[in-house]
Amino acid sequence: MIGIIDYGIGNLGSVSNAIKKLSRDFLISDDPSRLLKAEILILPGVGSAREGMKNINKRKLDKFLFEEIKKGKPFLGICLGMQLLFEESEEGDVSCLGILKGKVKKFLIERKIPQIGWNQVRIKSHFLRDKAWAGNYESGIKNKLFTQIPDNSFFYFVNSFYCIPENKSIIAGETLYGEKFASIIVKNNIMATQFHPEKSGKVGFQLLSNFIRKFYVN
Amino acid sequence: MLTKRIIPCLDMTEGKVVKGIQFVEFRDAGDPVKLAKKYNEEGADELVFLDITATVENRNILIDVVRKTAQMVTIPFSVGGGIRTKEDMKQILRAGADKVSVNTGAFNNPKLISECANIFGSQCVVLSMDVRKVTTDRWNVFINGGRTDTGVSVIKWAKKAVSLGAGEILLTSIDRDGTKKGFDVKITRKVSQIVSVPVIASGGAGKLEDFAEIILKGIADAALAASLFHYGELRIKKVKDYLQSQNIPVRN
């Protein structure tokens, strides 16, 4: 079962549709006790960081996420769901979950904000090689996350802010929008994307499917 | 690099796609869900649905189309027509749309933009503006399906809507709509230069060169077309191949 976290904002429809297309069971809930049963958690994201954190805290999902991720439950954060993993966001000057070290900043160089549309993701070479997760989860096993994801594939982005992880080695993919930013991060049981894989056509579905297959036994 | 988007638009009434000329003389152009699926497969970057009658009965039909479309397509799509409240917006997003476009409802009640942007994020709120040239150097905003001249200049409303939180502008030239005489480059350029959000140009696409012109001279971030694609006069791939040959970045 895949748990899609409902925190009052965000576009659950497109995420759940994508999971349906991949023929996987899911539940949508804002209740930690129900989400506890899920084998994989997805934090989708459309909306503002302030509203997002307010709703997460109100539902006591902050503590739940912190503990579940720490225990090793596979987690996928999408867009705002990626940004909220970090310590703080410039968007509304809000404290976020702090599961990863680093902050979230606004684009400074390009005039048009938000970035809306299809942009390319450069996959970091050490994530494409065998032993991609060396020292991490399942070290030594060929990294299946990027199977059939050609380097420089186009994904759909809608964002004004981006993450700056303190630990650069977790950056698995980078994208250029005036400035270079982390568009995919991977750390142990965490994957997060700044783009929307559920809205990125075939290649987006491939990435979702890779993530689920990597972690899903059933 | 961020690519320029090519967006087919599906104007709908009573669950069917229709296309008119200058907002009148509508004719049937087919089933929305089927068309959406076709464009998705042909490489459209996004889809736009507009319910042009937007009555209460049509709202339910629209929601049903949105739900079915969301199950079929793997690219983003926006939905608009008759959005008056944040509940309207929530209903459409919940059905699986990625963005909602507001037009008359936002003009009459600009707070709708800030309310929706605060809850759903600016990226969800598209300001749809129907505009017409009224003097040699002035374009006004028209509401109620292009029937009512508000007397307000396009530039003024665009600036205000963006300051309230609109994350994107869909700019439709009523003068050019369905005429295939090319986009209104002048007003698109003006709007694109004064706002800090992406602008989708709409109305008038007729040939390949129009797409390059609106992107290069009109500084549009995306170009929208309806009848050209519905009736198979141009294929999305052909448009993209052409743009690429003109060194315009597209997703292919």
pLDDT the model gives residue B118: 85
Cβ atoms < 10 Å from Cβ of A52: 28
Examine the pLDDT at B26 and tell me if it is beyond 80: no
Examine the pLDDT at A11 and tell me if it is beyond 80: no
- Confidence class for position A10, pLDDT limits 50, 70, 90: low
Most confident of A43-47, B120-124, B190-194: B190-194
Of A57, A51, A54, A171, the C-alpha closest to A123 is A171
Q: What is the total count of domains within chain A?
A: 1
Examine the pLDDT at A138 and tell me if it is beyond 60: no
CATH for the B5-245 domain, from 3.20.20.70, 3.30.565.10, 3.40.50.970, 3.30.70.890:
3.20.20.70
Q: Do A117 and B221 touch (CB under 8 A)?
A: yes
- Residues in chain B with CB shorter than 8 Å from the CB of A204 are 74
Instruction: State both tokens at A60.
Output: 């006591």
- Confidence class for position A137, pLDDT limits 50, 70, 90: very low
Name every residue whose Cβ is closer than 8 Å to that of residue B242 and which is 6 or more positions away in sequence: B208, B211, B212
Of A45, A114, A47, the C-alpha closest to B195 is A114
Q: Give catalytic status of residue B11 as yes or no.
A: yes
- Residues in chain A with CB shorter than 8 Å from the CB of B93 are 11, 13, 46
pLDDT the model gives residue A130: 47
Q: What ipTM goes with this model?
A: 0.92
Decide: B183 and B155 in contact? Cβ < 8 Å.
no
* Mean pLDDT lowest among A163-172, B39-48, B87-96: B87-96
Active-site entry in B51, B88, B130, B184? B130
In chain B, pLDDT over 70 holds for what percent of residues? Answer: 100
Active-site entry in B11, B45, B88, B221? B11
Examine the pLDDT at B191 and tell me if it is beyond 60: yes
- Confidence class for position A48, pLDDT limits 50, 70, 90: confident
pLDDT the model gives residue A140: 35
Query: How much is the average pLDDT of B210-234?
Result: 95
pLDDT the model gives residue A144: 80
From B4, B96, B196, residue closest to A14, measured CB to CB? B96
Those of residues 129-158 in B touching chain A at CB distance below 8 A are none
**How many helices (H) and strands (E) in chain A?**
7, 13
d(CA B246, CA B164): 36
Examine the pLDDT at B176 and tell me if it is beyond 50: yes
Examine the pLDDT at B39 and tell me if it is beyond 90: yes
Could you report the per-residue pLDDT of A147-189, keeping only the tens digit for each? 899 999 999 999 999 999 999 999 999 999 999 999 999 999 9
Provide the residue range defining the domain that includes A152: 2-215
pLDDT the model gives residue A143: 65
Query: How much is the average pLDDT of B11-40?
Result: 86
pLDDT the model gives residue A197: 96
Q: Do B124 and A199 touch (CB under 8 A)?
A: no
- Confidence class for position A46, pLDDT limits 50, 70, 90: confident
Pairing of strands A171-177, B5-13: unpaired
C-alpha neighbours within 13 Å on the C-beta side of residue B8:
32
CATH number of the domain within which A125 lies: 3.40.50.880
Distance from CA of B250 to the nearest CA of A (A): 8
Could you report the per-residue pLDDT of B134-168, keeping only the tens digit for each? 999 999 999 999 999 999 999 999 999 999 999 99
From A11, A20, A199, residue closest to B75, measured CB to CB? A199
d(CA B199, CA B208): 19
| Mean pLDDT over each residue of chain A, to the nearest integer | 89
Query: How much is the average pLDDT of B24-40?
Result: 87
| Residue A184 backbone phi and psi in degrees, to 5 | -140, 135
- What is the DSSP code (8-state) at residue A142? -
Query: How much is the average pLDDT of A5-10?
Result: 82
Examine the pLDDT at A68 and tell me if it is beyond 90: yes
d(CA B159, CA B176): 23
Give the domain ranges of chain B.
Answer: 5-245
Query: How much is the average pLDDT of B26-30?
Result: 78
| Mean pLDDT over each residue of chain B, to the nearest integer | 94
Q: Do A158 and B45 touch (CB under 8 A)?
A: no
Name every residue whose Cβ is closer than 8 Å to that of residue A187 and which is 6 or more positions away in sequence: A100, A136, A167, A170
Examine the pLDDT at B245 and tell me if it is beyond 60: yes
Q: Which residue type is seen at B122?
A: S
In chain B, which ranges are continuous DSSP H helix? 32-42, 56-72, 86-94, 104-108, 111-120, 154-164, 185-194, 208-216, 227-230, 236-245
Query: How much is the average pLDDT of B4-13?
Result: 95
